[in-house]
């Protein structure tokens, strides 16, 4: 009579419209769906605001040096909020450093690479959670 996908859609519709019980009869078949009493569970969209991710990529080939290691700036950590174009660290080749900057406003979602981690041009260095 119904497959799992049909039942899931029926249950979602019941929740969306505040229906606690649904009965369907068809020939010799009978289906009764009942949701538990109480507030409807939050949907994924309600439970967590929509987020997107953006990668801060390496501007060059070299080894990573995080912000705050020797430049006098405060160190950054996962969970810190950053602004677009904010300095996150450097990719160094010898004494030459190329800045790794935030591509957008967001929150640092990935771990900070260890000093000396090797990156190629365009490799993702850090991931930010951003609002779409």
What string of pLDDT tens digits covers the 132 residues of the chain? 677 887 788 788 888 888 888 888 878 877 787 777 665 555 555 556 667 999 999 999 999 999 999 999 999 999 999 999 999 999 999 999 999 999 999 999 999 999 999 999 999 999 999 987
- Residue 36 and residue 66 in one domain: no
Q: pTM for the whole thing?
A: 0.63
- Residue 99 and residue 78 in one domain: yes
- Residue 58 and residue 30 in one domain: no
Best CA proximity match to 55, nearest among 92, 110, 98: 110
Q: Write the CA distances from 21 to 13, 18, 41, 58, integer angstroms.
A: 11, 9, 16, 56
The sign of the torsion formed by the CA atoms of 10, 12, 18, 20 equals positive
Chain centre to alpha carbon of residue 110: 10
d(CA 109, CA 128): 5
**Tally of structural domains, the chain:** 2
Host domain of residue 26: 4-47
């Amino acid at each position: 009579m119904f497959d799992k996908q049909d039942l899931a859609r029926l249950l979602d519709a019941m929740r969306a419209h505040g229906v606690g019980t649904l009965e369907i009869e068809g020939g010799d078949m009978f289906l009764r769906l009942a949701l538990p009493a109480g507030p409807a569970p939050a949907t994924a969209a309600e439970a967590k605001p929509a987020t997107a991710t953006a990668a801060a990529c390496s501007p060059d080939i070299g080894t990573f040096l995080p912000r705050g290691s020797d430049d006098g700036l405060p160190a950054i950590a996962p969970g810190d909020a950053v602004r677009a174009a904010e300095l996150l660290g450097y990719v160094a080749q010898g004494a030459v450093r190329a800045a790794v900057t935030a591509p957008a406003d967001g929150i640092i979602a990935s771990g900070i690479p260890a000093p000396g981690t090797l990156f190629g041009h365009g490799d993702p260095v850090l991931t930010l959670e951003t609002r779409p």
